[in-house]
DNA sequence: AGCCTCAGGTATATCGTTGCACTAAGGATA
DNA sequence: TATCCTTAGTGCAACGATATACCTGAGGCT
């Protein structure tokens, strides 16, 4: 790797001049010098060492991304959106799989700080974000990519879809189709998003006066299990229980698409047909939703826009103590055949 | 962030002693001094700056990971396996989505070099890997996580599943069930893996004397389209064409599970039942394979072991010009209900 | 007593940048 | 002609670690 000194020698100038060139202080040199430097850089294939640059300026062009598990297609989609947004701004992304373990999150955060990252984006915030606050107080900019503002701890920026609206739209859609016996299938209220979605479901069903026709079916995740790639399998089991309930719900809303995929597979095993026997709404609108049989209605999060906002939070954080912002995006209902028929 | 000097002051020693402590040169100090340093580190919550360390030693604990798109569950699984293996060895992973664009790959590689990564792992090697060779010749250790040794360019390590064996096992399995009209559905031969899989299919069907009962159905990906998250949709279309062929194949082997998911959805639309009307074998064994209806037979890659081997290639590369290694792993046939019935 | 050894440290140059402080040369001004 | 300003640069001290080379005092040996 060529250094700035190699370039300086090749161009017959000092390292300072090359540095001036690199930092657009072009007024400090004649066009001729400028061209010589440019030529030398091209010739040597020179790229400034980010490491040296970082040590000198204290600023990195690197951000940390914490997700429970990238193997989960939802977090894969998030990781891709964040990386693209970061790249567009000249930033690199360091990937960390936390398995929803606070201890591991803390460990990663310490490593990332030692690496000098500009900030971290966390893809899923546990309900109890004090360990994130702790990071924020140590001077790290933290953006929670999930969970509403209420759940945010001090010093943490929030960029999230409106998780209350997500279930509200789902319920409204189903009620408009004539459904009343609607069951919301969810995992334990461990994350901010899950809590908000549950809240939205409760409020919407109450507003529509569904009474106890609206049900909540909570599936239990194994202890100490991040569960992300087995959520779908748990859905298969949950479908059995749901098939047996009487009266059986006419519509299901799943906490997320992965769970919905499992539910759909389980229902099919019991001869229950979607949408004829039961309607189904997923959440997240993974690319898999439109490949299901039948294609599934789901609530889409504007991931690209959200990713850009999240990265901007970190990049723009030039001003010392930027107040913790909270950006909430509206979800979009994507109607497909899993809710094609009216109830009754 | 506390520096080594802060620690030195707090412990009443010189920075050198703290450095000695950090680098396990314990013989250079009394137990008492050692304890004072330990205490100071704990008190100040000190972590050595990786940046400074890197500038000084020239070695980073960072590797670059190039994948076409992490949103693709297969590459999501790879990314997770690599990150875990890297973490176990104290390394960080920088994530890059290349969209299978050689130009973008080159750009990423340049950025990664400037960052001083220890090496890069590329999740999918284009057929023409000369741009990777170029990187290797510039002193970057490159590991191709796909593609067999033959396709490897000079200076590139290969860690891959045996892609010839993948289709060989698939064909053997189907033939053992009595199938003869077997069609291999694949995308264009753009990657080393695809080429090897095709080769395996051809050789195996020839060995079994299937003649022109063995067919190859090539789907075309849109130009300049990395295609990874639309492969499944193309599978839906391909299913239409396959449903119409006469005589219709009794078994399909899909280039990968994502394509298989699309094929399954398309076949279902045309009333063709798996496995009664047609058998199906996927490749990769994504977690989705066992959630399909019916659960799909697929060929599993030992991703964890492969990821560990790939990371080891980079980490162990202490010796100057380590010869380019080639590690090929055996796939495992996972039989499920999509091939549950015997043919005929 | 004089010399050596060795344990237990410390001083310092260095990695590749940056950016402030400085300066040499030339031109304008008084 | 002396002074000042501007232009087009250069010199140097950092940033936070490392490691080599150096130092120093205590004890052992002759």
C1' of C29 to CA of A28 (Å) = 24
The CATH superfamily of A164-301+333-339 is Response regulator (3.40.50.2300)
**Chain C bases having any atom below 7 Å from a protein CB:** 7-12, 14-21
- Cβ of residue B223 lies below 7 Å from strand C: no
Measure the CA–CA gap between A135 and A157, rounded to whole angstroms: 12
pLDDT of residue A21: 97
Q: How confident is the model at residue A84 (pLDDT cuts 50, 70, 90)?
A: very high
What's the Cα-to-Cα distance from B20 to each of A274, B23, B33, B54, B59, rounded to whole Å? 67, 5, 11, 17, 18
The DSSP call for residue A250 is S
Mean pLDDT confidence for A70-98: 96
Percent of chain B with pLDDT over 70: 93
pLDDT above 70: residue B187 = yes
CATH class assigned to A4-48: mainly alpha
Predicted confidence at residue B146, as pLDDT, reads 84
Q: Which CATH architecture has domain B59-161+303-329?
A: 3-Layer(aba) Sandwich (3.40)
Percent of chain B with pLDDT over 90: 74
**Residue B92 burial (CB < 10 Å; 0-12/13-18/19+)?**
buried
Report pLDDT digits (tens) over A203-244. 999 999 999 999 999 998 775 555 566 788 889 899 999 999
Of B12-26, B244-258, B322-336, where does mean pLDDT reach its minimum? B322-336
Rg over alpha carbons for chain A, rounded to the nearest Å, is 25
CA–CA distance, A261 with B268 (Å, rounded to integer):
16
CB atoms under 10 Å from CB of A56, counted, come to: 11
The span from the CA of B14 to the CA of B12, in Å, is 7
Domain spans in chain A, listed from the N-terminal domain onward: 4-48, 60-161+303-329, 164-301+333-339
Tell me, what's the pLDDT at A41? 97
Contact assignment for B71 to A50 by CB distance below 8 Å:
no
Whether residue B311 is predicted with pLDDT greater than 60 in this model: the reply is yes
CA distances from B334 to B148, B159, B242, B282 (A): 22, 22, 25, 10
Q: Is the CB of B220 under 7 A from strand C?
A: no
The answer to whether residues A97 and A75 touch, using CB atoms and an 8 Å cutoff, is no
Best-predicted range by mean pLDDT (A138-152, A322-336, B119-133): A322-336
Same fold, A4-48 and A164-301+333-339: no
pLDDT digits (tens, 9 = 90+) for A161-200: 999 999 999 999 999 999 999 999 999 988 889 999 999 9
What pLDDT is attached to residue A139?
77
Q: What is the 3-state secondary structure (H, E, C) of chain B?
A: CCCHHHHHHHHCCCHHHHHHHHCCCHHHCCHHHHHHHHHHHHHHCCCCCHHHHHHHHCCCCEEEEEECCCCCHHHHHHHHHHHHHHHHCCCEEEEEECCCCHHHHHHHHHHHHHHCCCEEEECCCECCCHHHHHHHHCCCCEEECCCCHHHCCCCEEEEEECHHHHHHHHHHHHHHCCCCCEEEEECCCCEHHHHHHHHHHHHHHHHCCCHHHCEEEECCCCCCCCCCCCHHHHHHHHHHHHHHCCCCCCEEEECCHHHHHHHHHHHHHCCCCCCCCCEEEEEECCHHHHHCCCCCEEEECCHHHHHHHHHHHHHCCCCCCCCCCEEEECCEEECCHHHCCCCC
CB distance B244 to B272 below 8 Å: no
Q: What is the reported pLDDT for B151?
A: 60
Q: Do A95 and B75 touch (CB under 8 A)?
A: no
Q: Which CATH code for domain A60-161+303-329?
A: 3.40.50.2300
pLDDT digits (tens, 9 = 90+) for A29-61: 999 999 999 999 999 999 999 999 999 999 999
How many angstroms from the chain centroid is the CA of residue A127? 15
Strand D close to A271 by CB, under 7 A: no
Of A47, A60, A69, the CB nearest to B80: A69
Chain A closest-CA separation from residue B98 CA (Å): 10
């Amino acid at each position: 790797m060529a250094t700035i000194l190699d370039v300086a020698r090749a161009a017959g100038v000092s390292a300072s001049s090359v540095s001036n060139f690199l930092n657009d202080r072009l007024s400090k040199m004649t066009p001729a010098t400028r061209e010589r430097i440019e030529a030398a850089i091209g010739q040597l294939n020179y790229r400034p060492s980010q490491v040296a640059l970082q040590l000198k300026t204290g600023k990195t062009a690197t951000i940390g991304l914490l997700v429970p598990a990238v193997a989960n297609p939802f977090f894969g989609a998030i990781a891709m959106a964040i990386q693209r947004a970061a790249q567009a701004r000249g930033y690199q992304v360091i990937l960390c799989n936390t398995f929803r373990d606070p201890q591991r999150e803390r460990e990663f955060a310490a490593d990332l700080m030692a690496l000098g990252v500009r900030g971290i984006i966390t893809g899923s915030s546990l309900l109890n974000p004090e360990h994130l606050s702790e990071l924020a107080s140590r001077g790290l900019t933290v953006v929670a990519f999930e969970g509403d503002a209420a759940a945010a701890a001090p010093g943490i920026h929030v960029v999230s879809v409106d998780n209350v609206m997500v279930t509200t739209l789902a319920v409204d859609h189903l009620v408009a189709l004539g459904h009343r016996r609607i069951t919301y299938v969810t995992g334990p209220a461990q994350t901010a998003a899950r809590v908000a979605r549950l809240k939205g479901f409760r409020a919407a069903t109450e507003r529509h006066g569904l009474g106890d026709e609206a049900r909540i079916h909570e599936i239990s995740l194994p202890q100490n299990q991040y569960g992300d790639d087995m959520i779908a399998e748990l859905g298969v089991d949950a479908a059995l229980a749901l098939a047996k309930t009487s009266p059986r719900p006419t519509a299901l809303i799943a906490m997320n698409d992965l769970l919905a995929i499992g539910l759909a597979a389980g229902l099919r095993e019991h001869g229950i047909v979607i949408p004829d026997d039961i309607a189904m709404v997923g959440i997240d609108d993974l690319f898999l939703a439109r490949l299901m049989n039948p294609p599934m209605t789901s609530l889409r999060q504007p991931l690209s826009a959200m990713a850009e906002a999240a990265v901007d939070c970190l990049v723009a954080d030039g001003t010392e103590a930027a107040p913790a912002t909270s950006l909430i995006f509206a979800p979009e209902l994507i109607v497909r055949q899993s809710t094609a028929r009216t109830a009754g």
